[in-house]
Structure formats: structure tokens, C-alpha cells
Amino acid sequence: MAQRYPINEIFQTIQGEGLFTGVPAIFVRLQGCDVGCPWCDTQHTWTVSPDRETNLNQVTDKSDTSDAWANATTAEILNEFIRLGYQANHVVITGGEPCMYDLRELTQALAVQGYQSQIETSGTYEVLVDDAAFVTVSPKVKMKGGLVVRPDALLRANEIKHPVATEKDIDALDALLAQCKWTTPPQVCLQPISQKTRATQLAMETCIARNWRLSIQTHKYLGID
């Protein structure tokens, strides 16, 4: 039986964060998340309510945020790319928390069709994806949901994109990194929370000191999705 995924929205835009900043991308946002980040700007994706299920075209054609979702197969998702006339070949699977779901079928199919897939995850679930998928772990430490960041998720990461507000966030990242012994370490990006001046300055100073990379959520400065 084909895997089905709860789709909150599918849209084409420019990736605004991390190593792929500026790259045209198709975003596939999945419904469902129990991590509980207080600053989350997609809280409408947290709950998969049965009474909010709808048709796929109604979530891909919507123009505002909503907790409505559609249950779609991999083939239906790929067909939506074609129906919508999307041209980007980079596909970002995000949420919610996408790794609540087994993403191997979807990411394998994307690779066969010539797409590069990128997963954006909190690292609190096992990462079940195609070997060629690019995994961005944005570790969420001591969030309301009480989930812990998994060492196996960190080890699968190609990029660690860490939200930063204060020094304690840097300390938390250091503790996570100390758990892992990579053959090839992932790129570390620091991302200031809510574009706050203090957080941005701290992230910049730390990136310079450690040769890490700054991720500044350019889409928010540009006012795009």
C-alpha cells in the first residue's frame, strides 16, 4: 500500500535559510508536530484534526495559513507539481515535524524524478529518508513537548541550523555536538530567533569565532513565504 502524507500546503518560492539560501524551491509542508517550540511561526500545523481534512487542491491553492490538510500519496504530490506548473528542482519537506512520518518513499521518488530533496527536522524523530536526501537538523532543546534531540538524527545531518537567542543556546548546541563523532562534520549554521538585534550579534560573533555560517531568514526580510 502506498504511503500517504498529511499535506498542509505545497508552494514554490525561494529558500530563505541555511546553505540553500537563494535557491528556488518547492516546499511541501506536512501537518503534525508535537515538539512545541514557543516561537514557532507555523503553529497551525501542529494538530492533525480529522475534521479539518480536505482535498489536495484546496490546500495547494490556498492563499492564507490554515490547519486544513489533505491526505496524499507520493504520486499525487508529484502530480501537483506538474498541475501547478512548478519549475524548481529543489524540494523542501518541512512542517510541522516531517520526520514523524516515514519519508523514504517520497524522497526516493523525488530522486528518481530528478529532484533534490531537503528535509527540515527538529532532530527529535528518526530520520527515515533516501540516502541522497539533504537533511537539515534544527535541534530543538527543552521544548514544551518534552522530546529530546536524537544523536542518530544529528549524525544523519548534512547541515545543523541552530536557533539562537542567548548564550545558553550556544551552550546547548555545544553539548549536542559533543555527543557525536562524525566522519565528515556537517555545516553548522546559527539562526537568530525573530531577527532580534542581540541574537543576531551573538550569532555573528560566534560564527566568526568558529568558522560557522550565519542563517538570517532572508525570506522574512523580503516579506515572502
Distances 143 to 42, 103, 151 between C-alpha atoms, Å: 15, 24, 17
139 a known binding residue? yes
Phi, psi angle pair for 214, to nearest 5°:
-90, 135
142 a known binding residue? no
Q: Which three cell numbers stand for residue 153?
A: 538524527
Question: Cα 140 vs. chain centroid, distance in angstroms?
Answer: 12
Strand 70-73 with 4-14, pairing: antiparallel
33 a known binding residue? yes
49 a known binding residue? no
42 a known binding residue? yes
Residue 24: burial class (beta carbons within 10 Å; 0-12, 13-18, 19+) = middle
66 a known binding residue? no
Give 25's contacts (C-beta < 8 A, 6+ positions apart). 12, 13, 14, 15, 88, 90, 91, 92, 118
14 a known binding residue? yes
Sign of CA dihedral 74, 80, 85, 87: negative
192 a known binding residue? no
39 a known binding residue? yes
The type of residue at 34 is D
- Answer yes or no: are the C-beta atoms of 143 and 169 closer than 8 Å: no
* Residue at grid coordinates 489536495: 56
Binding site residue list for substrate: 14-16, 29, 94
Per the annotation, where are the binding residues? 14-16, 29, 33, 37, 39-42, 94, 96, 138-140
Residues annotated in the binding site for [4Fe-4S] cluster, as ranges? 33, 37, 40
Binding-site residue numbers for Mg(2+) are 42
The annotation places the binding site for S-adenosyl-L-methionine at 39-41, 96, 138-140
